[in-house]
Amino acid sequence: MNKIVSDYHLHSEFSGDSTQNIEEIVKEGIRLGLEEIALTDHLEYDIEGMTDNWILDVDRYAKRVFELREKYKKDIDLKFGVEVGVQPHTKDYLESVIKKYPFDFVIASSHAIDRVDLAFGEIQAGRTKDEVHNLYFEYVLQNIEKYNEFNVYGHIDFVTRYGGEKFRGLDYKKHFDIIDVILKKLIEKGKGIEVNTSGYRYREDRFYPCTDILKRYYELGGEILTIGSDSHIKDYMTMDFDRVYDFLESIGVKYISSFDKMQPSFKKIK
């Protein structure tokens, strides 16, 4: 029996970093035997150097998702989702967009600090690895404290992806205190975290967040977990999900989350 039931982080041609035809994603989900998938194209705002192709046309995106939902409703449950790149100063604008549309699922992610994209390398310049990682977690905490219109926080420790080999790897013990505050705040607000398998594709040989963070979230009573490939091409859908399911079962997790109109429900791990 296929234990993989869903993929909750998928990008299509509507994202600035993907050219993947959106209908092909749906067809691949059906081929994989998934019960549901969440399309989560990027909604970014006020990042230096952001080109026009990063501006999500939400009207056109929503129209296409709902067309496909109707077309394939007998084969798969298609969720209307979005990944929002949050910064403390963009709360009002981004939350107004989220409230305007009938989203099923929203990922909040930290892609930029003070309008500078983590991928550009400017944030890492002149800082040690620990300084960069601590700065990132401080911003994650600020975002969680400010934002309300989201369901899970995305790839919560993926800062290690950027800046080159020097910045790879997370020393969990050094950042335990602030990570603990982040996890407790998420649980307090009824929010979850995603397990994002793209770390294997980015040669970090792990998923985001690391196993220590996942264990701690579960120890603290966290229950809302989604699993996402963060795929930008359909061939990556559900890649390395078996590793996640095996790990979650090893620490006693019995359910993953599903969302409909921003409300969570729980599916038992098969």
* Nearest to 157, CA basis, from 194, 121, 126: 194
- The string of DSSP codes covering 128-150 is -HHHHHHHHHHHHHHHHHH--S-
- Burial classification of residue 200, based on how many CB atoms lie within 10 Å of its CB (0-12 exposed, 13-18 middle, 19 or more buried): middle
Q: Where does the pLDDT of residue 16 fall: very low under 50, low under 70, confident under 90, or very high at 90 and above?
A: very high
SS3 annotation, 88-123 = HHHHHHHHHHHHHCCCCEEEEECCEECCEEHHHCCC
Q: List the domains of the chain with CATH numbers.
A: 6-268 (3.20.20.140)
Report pLDDT digits (tens) over 56-78. 999 999 999 999 999 999 999 99
pLDDT at 3: 84
| Average of per-residue pLDDT across 166-185 | 97
Query: Is residue 231 within 8 Å of 37, Cβ to Cβ?
Result: no
Confidence (pTM): 0.97
Helix (H) or strand (E) run with residue 194 in it: strand 192-196
Report pLDDT digits (tens) over 207-220. 999 999 999 999 99
Report pLDDT digits (tens) over 103-139. 999 999 999 999 999 999 999 999 999 999 999 999 9
pLDDT, averaged across the chain: 97
| Average of per-residue pLDDT across 162-178 | 96
d(CA 229, CA 217): 20
pLDDT at 2: 74
d(CA 41, CA 47): 17
